[in-house]
Structure formats: C-alpha cells, structure tokens
Chains A and B, each alone.
Chain A
Amino acid sequence: MTVVEKELGPEMVVCKDVNKWYGDFHVLKGIDVTVREGEVIVILGPSGSGKSTFIRCINRLEEHQQGQIVVDGTELTHDIRNIQEIRREVGMVFQQFNLFPHLTVIDNVTLAPINVRKWSREKAEEVAMRWLDRVGIPEQAQKYPGQLSGGQQQRVAIARALAMEPKILLFDEPTSALDPEMIKEVLDVMRDLAKQGYTIMAVTHEMGFAQSVADRILFFDEGKIVEENTPANFFTNPKEERTKLFLSQILNH
C-alpha cells in the first residue's frame, strides 16, 4: 500500500489515539498517525473537521486530553520543559502570518534564534539573511511587516520558522488568507522545502500542491481520519464514499 519513493528516516511524530474535546464537542476522535523524517504529509478535509486543531496539538497551541503525542522522542506532557523542547524543534506557519508588527523583518526572523537558541546577533542575522534569500526577499530585511504584501509576509513567516532550524514544519492553511496571485510564490517556497527533504505537515486546500508534493494525504472528517492514502490513489481512486463526495464538491465548483 505505502508506495514510498524516497528513503524515509526515523519516526518524527507519533500520535496514538489522540482525543480532544471543546466542552461537550468531541473535536478529535482517536487520531493515530506516524510521520517519518523527510515525509511530506498533507491534511485535507472540510472545514470544522478538526484538521487545524490536530496540527496545533503537535506543538501544544491546543492541548489534547487523551492519548499520546511524541515528537522527536519527546512526549508532549504538561511538563513545561518538554513543551519548550518540542516547540524549539517544531516550526509553524499560520494562516494569518502572525508576524510581530513592532519588529523589522530581520528582527522577526532573529528573535527566537537570539533569545531561545542564544546565538550571537551576528550569527543569527547571517542565518536569517540566508533564509530571506532562500524565500526570495532579502531586500525587504529592514522593512516592517506592515510594509509588505501578504505573500511577502507569509514568506517572512516561513523564514522565521526555518531560522530556528526545526526538525518539523507545520503549515496551518498558509495560503488561505492570500490573494490568488500571491499563492503561487508561497507554494513555490513550500515545494522547494519539500524537495530539500524537510519533514512537513500541512493543512491546506491547495489540491494541486497536495497532488504534486505530498507523500501521503490524510483526509479528516468529523474529527476522524477517514482516509489515508497516496496522492495518486487519493485523487483518482479514493477508498471511501466520504472522500468521493468531498472531491466531487471541490473539483466541480
């Protein structure tokens, strides 16, 4: 079943029977997922299916109430040291960018390396410039986020996440708040990262991206993983009725 083309490393994220409730509402119903190093996972599903909540549980922006999440060998518990340890190794890119508006682009990118990794400013800035270069906006380093376009801001956010040299990258609908013509520039950066062998978990609605980049697709509905499949099979030969319905709705509009 698992037609894996690339050589995969050790387990990076292991989720076992993860459950979460908002009050009485059961958002995540026993999620089991294992992500290996270098794997690119795309999470699809209708809105309200719990896919964003799940991805946000991995770095404890949301708390799971039952089950086990192990990231790079560290279990996510209530121990603040574990949480900090995991957050250092997991980078995240948000739908709304969430750049720090009071800091310049370069300061946004160097903030965590200087204060968390305790790098010298010189080293942090050097690394930051390298990443800004990589995402294609080195000339914007001294500007403030408010002076950039949405696509540029999202690329800064990606550079900010990468500057911490994370082992895993989480993308939470990174292109949903962007104008159509800016979506491509962000997807190109993500595609590039995937090629470089980054471990990526991305929630997105970009079917083209999912089809061409993902190693595996997780399809969420009503808090459960309804289908787990390779992109080729997922789009052309889905196993589940729910998946077919979903695909017919998004592909026929």
Chain B
Amino acid sequence: MESNSGISNIFAKLFDIRVLGVIAQIVGAIVVALTVSWFVGNVAGNLESLGEAQFICEDGTVAYRCAYDFMDSAAQFDVAETSFGMSYDNSDSYWRAIGVAAVNTIRVTIIGCILTTILGTLVGIARLSKNWLVANVSKWYVDLFRNTPLVLQLVFIYFSFFLALPSIKEAAENSNYVFLSNRGINYPSLVPTESFRVLAIFIGLGLILAYAIWLVLGRREERLGGTTNRAIWAPVSLLLFAVVGWFVANASAAGNQVMLVNNASGITGLDNVSQVVADRFGVEIADLGGIQAQVDAGDIDQKTFKDGRLNVCAARGSLEAANIDSELRALAIPYSISRVKDADKAFQDYAAGKCDVLAAEQGFINEMSATLEDATSFSIVGIPERPLRLSLAKLEGLNFAGGGKMTPEFAAILIGLVLNTGASVGEIVRAGIQAVSKGQTEAARAIGLSEGQRLRLVVLPQALRVIIPPLTSSYLNLAKNSTLAQIVAFPDFWTVIFTTINQSGRAMQGMLLTMLFYLTLSLIISAFLNWYNQRVKLVER
C-alpha cells in the first residue's frame, strides 16, 4: 500500500508543469547535442575521405589550414560581368573571381531592396485604393507573383523577354536614347569629369547648409510658433550652392582637357572644326546637318562620308571620350569616336593616321606626342571641360558606345527579384496601413491635420512598427534568392562558387565560403533593420 502510494506520488509529479519544463529542457539539450555531434562527425568524415590532396601546403606538408591555398592560383574562367568598373580577367586568382562575384551579389541586393521598397509601398497603397482598376490590377499582380515559383518568373523574364528583344541594330533604328535589345539595356548616363570634385564639394557644403537651415528654422518654429517656410529656404540654399559650384568648377577646369590634333587636318581648335568638316564635304556649315540624310539616301558613298567626318580616337569609357563627345554633339557635325581598349592603343591609331584628333589625358598627350618624329605635324589644343557630361549611347560598329549599360542577365535577375519580393512587400505595407485603425484617421482629421500631416504624424509611425519586422524577412529572402542568378547566367557569388567547385573539386571549401558570405550578408541586413526598428519603436515608448 505504502509503496504503491510512493509510485503514484512520483507518477503524479510527472504532471507537475515545473517538472515537465525541466524534462523538456533536458530533451531539447540532448537533441541539440546529438545534432551538433552528427554535423561535426559528418564534416570530419568528409575531410577524411577527401584525402590529403586538398590540404597540401606550399612547403609540401599536409594541414587543414592550407585548404584554401588553391584560391591563390589563377581561376582560368571568365566572369561575364563586374560591378563598379572592377577589373577581372581569367588570369586573376579564385579569390579575385569570388570577390568580384560577391560585389555583383551585393549590387543586386542593394538595388533590389531599394526598388522593392518603392514598388511594394506603391502596390500596398494601390491595393487599398478606392479606384477599382488600380486596386484590382495590383491585386492580380500580387496574386500572380506570390503564387508562381520565382524560378519560373526568372526564366520567363530572361528567355521570353530579354533574349527575345530585337537585335542591337534594330534597337538602334527604333529609338534614340534608351535602347532595349537582346544584348541588354543601353541608356544615357552622366559622366563626372575631373572638375566634378569641385562641384561635389560645393554640393556637399550646400547640403550641410541646407540641413543647418532646416534645423535652425525648425527650432525657431518650435520656440516662436508660426511658420518659417523652411521647406523652401533649405532647397533654395542648396540650389544656390550648386549653381555657384558649377561655375567655379568650370573655371577650375580650364586647361584640364586637351586634344592632340593632326595639323594636316587644318583644325586649330573646336571653333573651326565645323568649317574644316564642311570644307571636306564641300558644303556650308549650316548644311552639315543634312549630310547623314544624304548618306542614307546613297547620294554620298560610305567612303567619302567616313573620310569627311571628324574622326576621333579615344580610350573606351574614358572621361576624355565622354567630354569631347558632348562638345562635338553640340556642334551637330558628322563625327565618329573610335573607342579602343586603352589610351596607348588610341595613340597608336592616331599615329597610324586613323584619326584627325586624339582625346586623352593631358599628361599622356604631352608625353606621347614627344615620341612623334615630326614635331610640326601636330598641335595640342584645349577643350572646354564641364564637371558633368551627358554621355549618350550610340551605335558604333557592332556595339553601343557611350552611355550606361545593363546586361540582360543583370536586368533579368534584378527585375525578377524586385517583382517577386515586391509582391510580398506590397502585402506587408497593406497590412501595416490597415493595422492603424480607422479611428486614428478620423481623430487626425477631426483635430484639423492635413492629409500629409495625418500620414506623417499619425499613420506612418504606427504602420512602420508593424511593417519593419516582416520587411526584414523580405529583404533577407531577396538577398538569398539572388543565388537564382545562376538560372539567368548572371555571375553572382553562388554562380562563381559553383564554377569554382566544379573546376577545382573543392566542394567543402566552396560550401563553407557560401555559408559564411550569405550569413554575413543576412546579418548585416538584419542589423541595419533592427537598428531602424529600434528607432521607430522608441517613438512609441
């Protein structure tokens, strides 16, 4: 009897929630320990079976720390695209290849997150619109992109849209500034020249001043009441600085830009270029604009045209090319800029008589012109420089020169990620706005706040609290989904790691690097948004 009650006592204790809690903790700890030991054993086993071949150091010894030594050797594969003008060729190391790819991923992620936020906000607001069409179009968009696989969307965007676009030649015939072709999107860009630094300093000072004015006037409003029109004064002061900066930068640029001119061409400066070209064609300056039409009509043959127009040699992507391009475009004469891979090649072309003018850095021209045999055959002439030059994409030979370019691969992964993530962010924004009760809007209106003030002071601060946490997940999804770039052949981090693994056979090293990279990327995004979330939350309590 007694022992029986003892057993039932212990049995009853098992149902005590405090005991149950302890048991759950112990079971949890055992599961974690087993999982960890399985992982460690797995990695150790894999290392074992890999053998020593992957861990041989330079001095011939074998050590795990030498697992990544292979990364210093030449990658010997191409990375189709780099970001921010980073250089890479297949003789660079694996490290370099992976680094370039990491920057590609970061570029897609950052631009993607920004565009997703804009799209998602618009869609979220549109879904709540009272306009039937707006509300339903955004609803269909969200449904379509949330309920189909991202892979399918990417394949569609890349193969059925970008690769199905017209050829470069057709694209060039059909538009003037923005060209959509199966080789990507070419668009006008602004090229900062050397004197842009001066303008940038002025704009920077203007921004500081504008911010200071904003703060000082804001404090004045708080102290004295009334309105100070700070929303007008701050931008006006910035604009003022920018305008003054533009002129100062222009003045400081005098003599920065020069061109090397073949004296035989008769050109003495930009002021007589039009006359020289007009004489070559035997027409008046005013009629130069019609030359192209005559060439198209066949009245002037290609050879005469090519000899007659102003031919310029320059390095591809150089500031000098963009600068002279702008100047010549303003003159509205037939001209061609032959853009070659670097300044040396451009100079060789000039020396070989392929062009009338060489546009390059002043120091380079001074140095190289000294090597020309006939010192009377050339002159060095200044060209005006502007801090910013508009560079237009223009068909030259088989490709576009000048302007900015987005490859179809980059465009496809970016647009795919933005459309897909934008759909979920749209829902998050909608939920956030709806989470703020109708009563809040009524109260804001009843005390006389304008619609803008209502959104800024009442709705947004409350909606953001609801929006930020799920928004973080969406950003993380975008960052990690960018690995699907492999499908559209955009060389992101994962694509290049994949190639590296295939080529070197170092699967484990590649996987570890991948985990490390995406973990870091995710943590940085979370840290940033958590910081922002804290700021938003502080407003509440």
Contact, CB under 8 Å: B540 / A116? no
Q: Which of B72-80, B418-426, B439-447, B510-518 contacts A (4 or more CB under 8 A)?
A: B439-447
Q: Which of B218-256 contact A (CB under 8 A)?
A: 221-227
CA distance A112 to B458 in the complex (A): 11
CA distance A253 to B445 in the complex (A): 38
Q: How far is the CB of A12 from chain B (nearest CB, A)?
A: 17
Q: How far is the CB of A231 from chain B (nearest CB, A)?
A: 27
Question: Per a CB cutoff under 8 Å, which of A96, A121, A122, A164 touches B448?
Answer: A164
- Size category of the B interface is 20 to 34
CA distance A111 to B458 in the complex (A): 10
**In chain B, what residue has the closest Cβ to A122?**
B223
Contact, CB under 8 Å: A111 / B227? no
Chain B residues whose CB sits within 8 angstroms of the CB of A91 once the complex forms: 446-447
Contact, CB under 8 Å: B223 / A116? no
**In chain B, what residue has the closest Cβ to A99?**
B443
Chain A residues whose CB sits within 8 angstroms of the CB of B225 once the complex forms: 117-120, 123-124
CA distance A171 to B443 in the complex (A): 12
A120-B223, A121-B222 are known contacts. Are A98 and B445 too (CB-CB below 8 A)? no
CA distance A56 to B450 in the complex (A): 18
Contact, CB under 8 Å: A160 / B224? no
Q: Which of A109-139 contact B (CB under 8 A)?
A: 111-112, 114-124
Chain A residues whose CB sits within 8 angstroms of the CB of B224 once the complex forms: 120
CA distance A232 to B458 in the complex (A): 43
CA distance A217 to B195 in the complex (A): 78
Question: Per a CB cutoff under 8 Å, which of A99, A121, A164 touches B223?
Answer: A121
Contact, CB under 8 Å: B443 / A98? yes
Chain B, interface SS category: helix
Question: Per a CB cutoff under 8 Å, which of A121, A122, A160 touches B447?
Answer: A160
Contact, CB under 8 Å: A94 / B442? yes
CA distance A59 to B442 in the complex (A): 10
Q: How far is the CB of A140 from chain B (nearest CB, A)?
A: 15
- Whether a CB of chain A sits under 8 angstroms from the CB of B449 is yes
Chain A residues whose CB sits within 8 angstroms of the CB of B461 once the complex forms: 102
Chain A residues whose CB sits within 8 angstroms of the CB of B450 once the complex forms: 84, 116
Contact, CB under 8 Å: A88 / B442? no
Q: How far is the CB of A186 from chain B (nearest CB, A)?
A: 17
Contact, CB under 8 Å: A87 / B446? yes
Contact, CB under 8 Å: A116 / B222? no
Q: How far is the CB of A64 from chain B (nearest CB, A)?
A: 16
CA distance A160 to B450 in the complex (A): 17
Question: Per a CB cutoff under 8 Å, which of B226, B440, B462 touches A98?
Answer: B440
Chain B residues whose CB sits within 8 angstroms of the CB of A164 once the complex forms: 447-448
Question: Per a CB cutoff under 8 Å, which of B446, B448, B453, B462 touches A101?
Answer: B462
Contact, CB under 8 Å: A144 / B541? yes
- Whether a CB of chain B sits under 8 angstroms from the CB of A158 is no
- Whether a CB of chain A sits under 8 angstroms from the CB of B457 is yes
Contact with B along A38-59 (1 / 0, CB 8 A): 0000000000000000000001
CA distance A121 to B442 in the complex (A): 24
- Whether a CB of chain B sits under 8 angstroms from the CB of A92 is yes
CA distance A39 to B449 in the complex (A): 27
- Whether a CB of chain A sits under 8 angstroms from the CB of B17 is no
**In chain B, what residue has the closest Cβ to A112?**
B447
Chain B residues whose CB sits within 8 angstroms of the CB of A115 once the complex forms: 449, 453, 457
- Whether a CB of chain A sits under 8 angstroms from the CB of B539 is yes
Q: List, sorted by A's number, 12 A–B pairs whose CB atoms are closer than 8 Å.
A: A61-B446, A100-B458, A102-B465, A111-B457, A116-B449, A116-B453, A118-B225, A120-B221, A121-B223, A144-B540, A157-B443, A160-B447
Task: Please give 15 more A-B residue pairs, beta carbons under 8 A apart, in addition to A87-B446, A112-B448, A157-B443.
Answer: A59-B446, A87-B448, A92-B443, A92-B446, A98-B437, A98-B442, A111-B449, A116-B447, A118-B221, A118-B226, A120-B225, A120-B226, A122-B222, A161-B446, A164-B448
